[in-house]
Amino acid sequence: MPTLAERAASRMSPVEVPNTGGSFLDDPAAAIREALMAEHDRWAGTPYRFGGTNMSGIDCSALVQNIFSDAFQVELPRTTGSQLHMGEPITRDQLSPGDLVFFKPPGNRHVGIYVGQGRFLHASSSRGVMISKLDNSYWRRYYWQARRPLEPTHLSMRQFAYSPAQFGG
């Protein structure tokens, strides 16, 4: 099965459906997870910087905004407070890759993207961009809510609705 990068390199138009054997339609969560892990590889180790929006330093909501824009061509608001209102609220046991997870430590709010298997991608204020476990004692204590910005099938299909210019075309 071709990788996400190989599928992107084919430079199909936004209306074409990729020839992936239907895997992204059969298992949208796997396609979303693959895209999120590729984004993790790209951003991993980027330091946290409050108000930061790029690889020299980024905060949690800007990371979420950038990943949704780059991987799925979905424009999310810039701040955690605004991202709290995106999509539909879901329960923790309904989490699927691509869902937003929110935390409320004392005096603060934090957002990340659920990648599956009990883990989420985020910009940690102490360790930069990383993947953490939801049931880590700190994150479990401050877990607040989750939201689904788009249904998984729609989100996985958005991976392929890009401009060829994004890939050197």
Active site residue 154: no
Catalytic residue, from 40, 85, 110, 154: name it. Answer: 110
Query: How are beta strands 143-148 and 88-90 bridged, if at all?
Result: antiparallel
DSSP assignments along 51-84, one per residue: T-EETTEE-HHHHHHHHHHHHH-----SSHHHHT
Catalytic residue, from 40, 85, 122, 154: name it. Answer: 122
| Structural element, H or E, at residue 29 | helix 28-43
3-class DSSP state for residue 152? helix
Active site residue 40: no
Active site residue 110: yes
Tokens at 92, concatenated: 């923790």
Is-contact 63 127, C-beta < 8 A?
Answer: no
Is-contact 102 146, C-beta < 8 A?
Answer: yes
Catalytic residue, from 40, 60, 85, 154: name it. Answer: 60
Catalytic residue list: 60, 110, 122
